[in-house]
Amino acid sequence: MSSTKQPPRESQAEISTTHLRLILRGARRIPSLHRKYLDNLDPQQPLSLANLPVLTPHELSVATGELLRDRGPDDGSVIYVGGGTHARPSMSLLPQGMFVEEIHGSWGALKPGDVLANFFPAGRTFPTHCFYNRLATHAGASALSVGDVQEGQFDRWLDFCAEYGVSVIAAPPDIVGRLLRHVAAGHSVPWLRKLLIGGAFHDPTPQREIAERLPDVEVWQLYGSAEAWMVGHRGPGCAEGVFHLLPHQYAEIDGGRILVTTTGVHRAPPLIRYLIGDRGALADCGCGRPGRVIRVLGRITPAVVYQGRPIRARELVDLALETGEVTAAQVAVVTTEGGDETTGALELRVVLADGVPDDHYTREWIRFQALSGHLALDPRAAEHAEGFQVVVVDRLADDGSGEPPALVVEEAG
């Protein structure tokens, strides 16, 4: 399980039939995947990746649950609960090394002598914080594990970084936003040489704003998902929005959808044509690095970024409905002029059941239940209270489809 050594392949060549059969063998021990790929396990039948069925997030989560309940992985692994609820968790398993060796060898964002301040939160079920620490030490750099900090403490931590030789920051979108506001307010960070963003999600941090505010800082970015983990990378010389695939990941574009296959035969459950949830296209990059390149165009499933991670809007809607005090719900992102759904204020709009009072207690109760019921969110993060409010409405916004969408994006005013 923890071994991530890959068979020698040409850069992003089509996966061979022999290697594909090895990956499929890993499905035999998991009942739901064995049934899914049963027709493709016959050694007498021709086999190609394009003829295999697409693996959905729900199917992968079910297979992960079966593996954990049955006999568990073969050896040490990291259980990643990327979201969902206790009743419907979104889970995956990572090898104990979290592909650090492969990612460092391809990405090269950190060098010996770098000092990394890791601002990714070390909260529950979120291994990205641990990943960046391991990446730093594997690269011969030093890691300062800062984690998430309150808004009022952020400037002090930047002063601490300057005092003790930090040269690199790794941070989720909300922390990057704080950094940009800090610089916009007239502060300087001459000690900062590199900014590492992204992780097991698509981070749409505005590159132009970073370039404007931090023109002398190199920006290095990873792209992936909670289930697929890190899929691609980009560096300072890469075109915006494009990612070079990592050596252990193979990506297809199927009807505009990105499908990911992890080619390591020791990953369990095997990831075969996984529907990562993003739209994309094959692309070129002028940086000169070899290998397949994809451009990420946005989400397929409606999602928002909150507490530094992407959250499916439908999950918040379902959690609101489960309180019994709500008959209908919808997530709304209210943006400022020129903003997008990653930078706006988040509202959980609800229609209350008959007899439920519309008061502060009711709204806060629904808000707490939605946050505490979600496996990836922290209801105790008081500093985020202004960024996520429950709003009582008489009716939900309708897009004309006959059923209110789970997510709407509106401009303030």
111 phi and psi angles, rounded to 5 deg: -130, 160
Instruction: Give the amino acid at 8.
Output: P
Helix pair 128-138, 100-107: axis angle to 10 deg: 60
How far apart are the C-alpha atoms of 295 and 383, rounded to whole Å?
A: 34
H or E segment to which residue 330 belongs: strand 326-335
pLDDT in single tens digits along all 413 residues of the chain: 333 333 333 344 578 888 888 888 888 888 999 999 987 777 777 788 988 999 998 899 889 988 888 765 556 678 888 777 877 787 788 888 899 999 999 999 999 999 999 999 886 666 889 999 999 999 999 999 999 888 789 999 999 999 999 999 999 888 898 999 999 999 999 999 999 998 877 676 778 889 999 999 999 999 998 888 999 999 998 988 899 999 999 999 999 999 999 987 678 889 999 999 899 999 999 898 888 899 998 888 767 777 766 788 888 999 999 999 999 999 998 876 655 555 568 899 999 999 999 999 999 999 999 988 888 777 665 444 557 899 999 999 887 777 888 888 887 76
* pLDDT (0 to 100) of residue 352: 96
Q: Are 95 and 266 a contacting pair, CB within 8 Å? A: yes
Q: Are 149 and 161 a contacting pair, CB within 8 Å? A: no
A 10 A CB-CB count for 199 gives 27
How far apart are the C-alpha atoms of 286 and 258, rounded to whole Å?
A: 22
Using DSSP's 3-state secondary structure scheme, residue 327 falls into strand
Report the phi/psi class of residue 177: left, alpha or beta, with left for phi > 0 and alpha for psi in -120 to 50.
alpha
Q: Which two tokens stand for residue 16?
A: 């061979």
* pLDDT (0 to 100) of residue 125: 60
Angle at 318 between CA 313 and CA 324, to 5 degrees: 145
Alpha helices in 276-344 (DSSP H): 313-321
Running DSSP on this structure, what letter comes out for residue 257? E
CA-wise closest residue to 262 among 65, 62, 94, 79: 94
Running DSSP on this structure, what letter comes out for residue 128? H
* pLDDT (0 to 100) of residue 121: 83
Running DSSP on this structure, what letter comes out for residue 199? B
Q: Provide the pairing of β-strand 326-335 with 407-411.
A: parallel
Using DSSP's 3-state secondary structure scheme, residue 391 falls into strand
Whole-angstrom CA distances from 271 to 95, 208, 277, 291, 293 are 13, 34, 14, 20, 20
Q: In whole angstroms, what separates CA 310 from the centre of its chain?
A: 6
295 phi and psi angles, rounded to 5 deg: -110, 125
